[in-house]
A and B are shown apart, each in its own frame.
Chain A
Amino acid sequence: MLKDFLDSEIYNQILKAFSFNDITEIRLRVNEKIIVAVKNKKYYLKDENNNFLICTKQNIENFITRACHNSVYAYNNNIIQGYITLKNGIRVGLSGNVVVENNKVVTIKDFNSLNIRIPHIIKNCSLIAYDYLVTDEVKNTLIVSPPGAGKTTFLRDLIFQLYNHNLAKNVLIADERNEICATNDAIPQINLGGFCDIYTNCTKKYAFKNGIRSMCPDVIVTDEIDLDCDLQYITEAINCGVNVVATIHAKDLNQLKNKPGFSEIFEKHLFSRYVFLTNDLGPGTLTYIYDDKLNCIYSR
């Protein structure tokens, strides 16, 4: 898959050294060694003479040009937000020189590093939590984990389990960064079951407001909420009788409690379940589930 995007020298060396099925992340940084993450371990990529392969600016530029199908203008909205989604749900994080005009980010140029994240489907990774989160309806749930610990993987599996358990709930996916479904030409690259309606590449505000009106969802699923700005739409959705499953970055309960806006969530009992994940036994490892009063109801 990455053959179409990576320079052949890098691609061939990765192919020689690793199995693509095991790779979770590839990091390219200008004038630095290339790092490949395989099952939570990081390795430097070496060339045929066993020297470290150094990433050039050209390597990064070539990757971005190919990832955008030679059409940067068509991907600029994503670039502004710092990512591009490739086929099969591969997510590419970008960093570089952010161009600001009239207090608005116009684009990013002179890219200096890429974080290529290769998704893995971990079947049934949400199954233990399922019975705590779903009865005859889906409980309002906040999935909590540090970055890279499998929130999105867990979320995808949970959506699929709803379908698999014949719950027949209409699920609206507010996929702001096209990370959950990885749609390509309007088709999700990941099997999420047959009850999903998907808004991609739009703000949560747009997806929540318009989605409730036009798609009549039973559940809205969204990734990486920001308590500062997204709380209003989540509250509105819950008050409309729509259940919400969302994810957020935090390592543990204390970090979550320290987040601005959390007190409001807690006082209003917006979420009935808090699911904590880690990377201990691979992405999506379930560690704790708390109820709306923060009583631990599951511990690994």
Chain B
Amino acid sequence: MKWILIAILIFVIMLIAIRLSDQYKDKYDFYFNLKNFLNQFKINVSFRQDKLTDFVANVKPKKQFKLFIDAYSEYLKTNKLNLSEIKILEEEEKNELTQIVMSLGKNDSPTEIMQLENFLISVENNLSSAQENKNKLCPMIIKLSLLFAIGLAILLI
């Protein structure tokens, strides 16, 4: 019975650790998708010039980025942007994202492209930072959690 309880404890700790590390992976994925989204939009503005609503409707998002696309689609309909569902971003990051999306589609194509290039630089910085955190913190969280679980198990034995 004792061994089963210890196994469950280790399993739960590791599960929490994976969930924690997933946050960093999700954030990296989010910025990766945002970068792709802005790049694709830049191409659209340069060539096809589809309307923003049509362009957004054709995006096939996943996970956290889907929450953003849903919120943005709603904004295009109602003019109200609600990013509260996106838990992985801090307030400052949400403000930055709000600034970006609210500026989209407000200019002629050369200005829009120039603006998108500036946004891409900023998103690229966030992506690098998210990648650094993902590469550094994810293995660390897993390793520390494993050590913690083993230590706790030894104590209980």
Contacts and interface: CB of A to CB of B under 8 A. Distances in A.
Interface of A: 65, 68-74, 76, 79, 106-107
A77 B106 CA distance: 14
Given A65-B105, A71-B53, 18 more contacts: A65-B106, A68-B105, A69-B52, A69-B53, A70-B53, A70-B76, A70-B106, A71-B50, A71-B51, A72-B106, A72-B108, A73-B49, A73-B105, A73-B107, A76-B108, A76-B109, A79-B108, A107-B111
A130 B107 CA distance: 46
A107 B51 CA distance: 18
A70 B52 CA distance: 6
Chain B contact-residue range equals 10 to 19
Contacts of A106: 108, 110
B53 to A, nearest CB: 6
Contacts of B76: 70
Contacts of B70: none
Interface in B101-131: 104-112
Contacts of B107: 72-73, 107
A71 B50 CA distance: 8
A69 B50 CA distance: 10
Contact of A74 (B50, B110, B111): B50
B45 interface: yes
Interface in B32-63: 45, 49-53
Contact of B109 (A68, A69, A70, A73): A73
A142 B105 CA distance: 40
A298 to B, nearest CB: 46
A73 B108 CA distance: 4
Contacts of A74: 49-51
B105 A70 contact: yes
A31 B53 CA distance: 31
A98 to B, nearest CB: 12
Contacts of A65: 105-106
23 contacts: A65-B105, A65-B106, A69-B52, A69-B53, A70-B51, A70-B52, A70-B53, A70-B104, A70-B105, A70-B106, A71-B50, A71-B51, A72-B105, A72-B112, A73-B45, A73-B49, A73-B107, A73-B112, A76-B108, A79-B108, A106-B108, A106-B110, A107-B108
A246 B104 CA distance: 40
